[in-house]
Amino acid sequence: MLRALLIQEDFKVGRLHVATLMKRMGFEALYRKPTTSKPAKDQQIYPYFLRKLPITQSNQLWATIAR
């Protein structure tokens, strides 16, 4: 969008050059960023019981998801 505005004002500039200049000046586009890492409010947090368990051989540990 910024590139289009500059072209309308007779500045010959490419989109990559505009992106470089924006990065140098610290500008960034305003848009809603994804919130995929935020858990739901009623989400239950389960403890991780296998943190200190040393796994020394293959097929020593199997896991299932209970729903």
Q: What is the pTM of this model?
A: 0.42
Residue 24 has pLDDT above 90, yes or no: yes
Is residue 10 left, alpha or beta, with left meaning phi > 0 and alpha meaning psi from -120 to 50? left
- Please indicate whether residue 17 or residue 30 has the higher confidence score (pLDDT): 17
Angle at 53 between CA 51 and CA 54, to 5 degrees: 120
Over residues 7-35, mean pLDDT: 90
| CA distance linking residue 11 with residue 21, whole number of Å | 14
Over residues 8-25, mean pLDDT: 93
